[in-house]
Amino acid sequence: MRIILASKSPRRKELLELMGVRNFEIIVSQVDETMDDTITLEENSKMLAYYKAKAVFDKTFGDRMVIGSDTLVAKSGKVYGKPKTKEEAFKMIKELKASTHQVITSLCVLKEENGKVEEYVDYDISNVEIKNITDEEIQAWIDTGEAMDKAGAYAIQGKFAVHISKIDGNYNSIMGLPISKLYDMIKEYIEL
């Protein structure tokens, strides 16, 4: 079975490798990630994961499994995407500090085998609490350069981990891929 990750995220690649998936391709989906304000954040995340997987699925052929995922960081209904500037990253962390926010990570797997197509879409929600950190600590984090390609301007598995005081949920989902859910779907294709 050809396994394709529809993401350029190095974290998702790392998580697939951690699961024991050895032979997979990466094809970036290039979809518009505009959210629909008439549906919930969970539905938006699932929709975006589906669109990412579907875009790659539609341009590939044969027996294959395409994995799409989307991660949203939200607090009080406000979504924190990937910052475009260092100033925006600073503002995000300043708003997220000393409080709890949600990380919604969705998973979509589209599989075709012997002409039969199956789809699976699900999501996880985790709560993440960031300590009350100083402006200097925020700036030091921003200056590492690691904040710019991450939703909410941080990564739980990187240097920012020292500022995470509590999580309630799935660590790997916060990192970008709910591998416990994915495992059940693809375990027959994994070499442990």
pLDDT of 192: 58
Is 70 annotated as catalytic? yes
Pick 2-189's CATH classification: 3.30.360.10, 2.30.60.10, 3.40.30.10, 3.90.950.10. 3.90.950.10
User: Which helix H or strand E contains 187, and what residues bound it?
Assistant: none
Q: What's the pLDDT tens digit per position in 43-63?
A: 999 999 999 999 999 999 999
From the list 32, 36, 70, 122, the catalytic residue is: 70
The residue whose two tokens read 């009350």 is 132
Dump the DSSP string for 123-166. Answer: EEEEEEEE----HHHHHHHHHTTTTTTSGGG--TTSGGGGGEEE
Residue 165's Cα: distance from chain center in Å? 20
> Tell me, what's the pLDDT at 191?
65
Domain boundaries defined on the chain? 2-189
Q: For 10-43, how does the pLDDT look when each residue is reduced to its tens digit (9 = 90+)?
A: 999 999 999 988 889 999 998 998 999 999 999 9
Helices vs. strands in the chain: H and E counts, helices first: 6, 7
Quote the pLDDT of residue 158: 85
